[in-house]
Structures are given as C-alpha cells and as structure tokens.
Structure 1
Amino acid sequence: MIQQVTEGVSITVETFYQPEQSNPQNADYLFAYRITIENFSSMPIKLLRRHWHIIDSNSNHRQVEGEGVVGAQPILDPGEAYQYVSTANLRSDMGKMYGSYSMENLYNKKIFSVTIPEFELIAPFKMN
C-alpha cells in the first residue's frame, strides 16, 4: 500500500493483478487499483478532475485526463473518506502509474492539486 498527503488530503493506493481478465499471449494485462481519498484538512473539498500517467515496461507512456473519478465528483467534508476501484490495461506484465487530482476548496473556491503517489503494477508471476 502506498500513501501520500498533499495539503491535508491523503491518497492511499492498493493494486491487484486481474489474471482472469488478462491475456498474456496477446500482451494484454489488466490491473485494478483501489484509491482511498481522506480529507484531513479543515475545509470541505470537491474532486474536480484527474490526470494520470500510465507507463509500462516497454516504455509506452500514455496520459488520461478527465472530470472526476469513475463518473463521480465526490465532496468530502473534514474527516470524511471516499474510496473507488478502477482499472488500467498494460501491454506488459509490469508498469507504474502516478498523477494528480484537481480539488476545489469549497469555502474559498480555490483550486489546488493533490498528488497521486507513484505505484507499481506488477503481475505476481513476475515477482518469482
């Protein structure tokens, strides 16, 4: 599990290889990741956008950017948490992801960036 706190907002990441949805013969590897966002600040915040960097071990680098996460733009009051699960396809059995969320302070309407820490995506058979 990887965790990082930026401006009072904690991001925790857990990853899971999905063998039943992967096809190594076709260089198709699916990974799931669970993100937990916790608001340790004293203000309510809203997640507006996400920006991901996804890199596999073949040096393929792609970026994904868009509104919210899994169709939601959650609002978190101080002390609240939000959790979601999503997936990423790689063309190799290992890679990494990192990125950022654009958040809005709902008291003063200022936008700020929260770092999504870099985490590895590694198929379990690669670790043997």
Structure 2
Amino acid sequence: MPAQDNNRYLIDIEVHTEFLPEQSDAESNRWVFAYHITLRNDGDQPARLMTRHWVITDGEERTHEVHGEGVIGETPLLAPGQSFSYTSGAVLETSIGSMHGSYQMLADDGTCFDAPVPAFTLAPPHTLH
C-alpha cells in the first residue's frame, strides 16, 4: 500500500506471513510467526529507512509496541524503483494475532515521511475461514 499520495515520496510495502510450527508450542502458549517484508520505492526521491514502529496484538487484544532503528540491523537506502526485502518474526501467546505499523523514511532532499504498514494477520494455516 503506498505511503504517500505525493509521487515524490511513495513507498509500496508487501507483506507475507508464515507460521513456524517447529518453533511453536501450543501447550506453552507460544506461537511463532515469520513475516517477510518487501519495500519498493515508487517515488522519484531516494529514501532511507531510518526507524520502525510496530503494534503487535494477540488474540486476547494484548498489545506490544516495538520501536527501533532500521530493520535487521540495516538502514537501507532505496533509490527510485529499488526494492529491499527482509524477514523477521513475532512470538504470540495466542494462535491468532495481527500487526501494523510504519517505517520512518528520510528522503535525499531532507524530507521525513512515514510509510505505513496496514494491519496483517498472524495465524496458522486453515485457522481462519
């Protein structure tokens, strides 16, 4: 989903999730998920991913917020048309949850802008109809 209507600052974000049964343990209320993110700069300005903010919500509506610099130890610079992909994970106490958030970007012209990540679901396969 595009971050800005202005074509100068346009980051498209694609998310795919994966349940990790080998790391999960239902008896211990431990449900582990990976999320694969691809960011693509569809704007006309190079932009660097500076920070991230996630809101992680489990099936009991408990939320946990994460703030940090970059992603996976990097602050990638995306030229127009360039993509950056990474994988990270989340551990929930319930089998179903969701995440949403944003990346704070810094364009080469000095403009700071947010690239929002719409909510996505974390759930084992065949759990939701």
Range into which the TM-score falls when normalised by the shorter chain: over 0.9
| Equivalent position of 1:13 in the other structure | 15
Aligned to 1:35: 37
1:65-89 CA distances to partner (integer Å, 9 max, x unpaired)?
0000011000000000000000000
Determine which structure has the larger strand proportion and give its number.
Answer: 1
How many angstroms does 1:100 deviate by? Answer: 0.5
**2:47 match:** 45
Code of the aligned partner of 1:113: D
Aligned to 1:74: 76
Query: How far did residue 119 of structure 1 move?
Result: 0.1
Residues matched between the structures, number = 124
**Alignment-derived partner of residue 124 in structure 1:** 125
Deviation at 1:125, TM superposition (A): 4.8
TM-score between both structures, scaled by the size of structure 1? 0.94
Where has structure 1 moved over 2 Å in runs of 4 or more? Answer: 125-128
TM-score using structure 2 length: 0.93
Measured against aligned partners, the alpha-carbon deviations of 1:10-48 in whole angstroms (never above 9, x if no partner) come to 000000000000011000000000000000100100000
Q: Give the partner amino acid of 2:2.
A: V
CA distance in 1, matches of 2:82, 2:125: 33
Structure 1 unaligned runs (5+)?
none
**Distance in 2 (alpha carbons) for counterparts of 1:56 and 1:65:** 18
Query: Quick one: percent identity of the two aligned structures?
Result: 36
SS of 1:46 mapped into structure 2: strand
Q: What is residue 114 of structure 2 aligned with on the other side?
A: 113
1:124 CA drift (Å): 1.8
